[in-house]
């Protein structure tokens, strides 16, 4: 099976406002690809189209010949621009919850989280509530949530904010 992300002639409009116009590109498995542009250029809209959260007015998006809405939750990892963390949960509770939504066992989550916290030299945050962490450390936790299930396709929206 061809494991590439194909964006062909994608346009997304909100009423008369064109957010994305006739966008086409391909990203093959193992490749990194970046979208650069000013605020309001349509980057986040494109990511939401890729995730199947929005529907294009025209054009097609596929990953391995499958449309995003038909992909499993384990296929894609997504780091959104906005933080989507529960402030009162501690780091491990947060990541167990998110990992379970991706179909991981509690043991799998704990193993992956420990590995990533060690990588980020952040093991000391495991039992801290999200609201106690700096924006940068919250971003690390959100990154871990995006990659711990080992997705085939990883989408990072503003990964360095914070």
Number of separate helices (H) and strands (E) present in the chain: 4, 5
For residues 70-95, average pLDDT: 83
Question: Whole-angstrom Cα distance, residue 108 to residue 52?
Answer: 27
In this structure, how many other beta carbons lie within 10 angstroms of the beta carbon of residue 104?
A: 20
Model confidence at 151: pLDDT above 80: yes
Phi, psi of 4 (to 5 degrees): -135, 155
Tokens 């963390």 locate to: 85
Q: Is the pTM of this model over 0.85?
A: no
**What whole-number percentage of the chain has pLDDT above 90?**
56
Tokens 């936790």 locate to: 141
């Amino acid at each position: 099976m061809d494991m590439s992300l194909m964006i062909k002639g994608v346009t997304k409009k909100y009423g008369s406002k064109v957010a994305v116009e006739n966008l086409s590109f391909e990203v093959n498995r193992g490749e990194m690809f970046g979208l650069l542009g000013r605020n309001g250029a349509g980057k986040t809209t494109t990511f939401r189209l890729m995730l199947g959260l929005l529907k294009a007015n025209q054009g097609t998006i596929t990953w391995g010949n499958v449309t995003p809405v038909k992909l499993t939750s384990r296929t894609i990892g997504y780091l959104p621009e906005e933080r989507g963390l529960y402030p009162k949960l501690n780091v491990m509770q947060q990541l167990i919850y998110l990992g379970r939504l991706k179909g991981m066992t509690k043991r799998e989550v704990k193993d992956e989280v420990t590995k990533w916290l060690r990588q980020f030299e952040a093991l000391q945050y495991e039992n801290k509530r999200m609201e106690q962490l700096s924006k940068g450390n919250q971003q690390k936790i959100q990154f871990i949530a995006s990659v711990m299930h080992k997705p085939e396709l990883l989408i990072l929206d503003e990964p360095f904010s914070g």
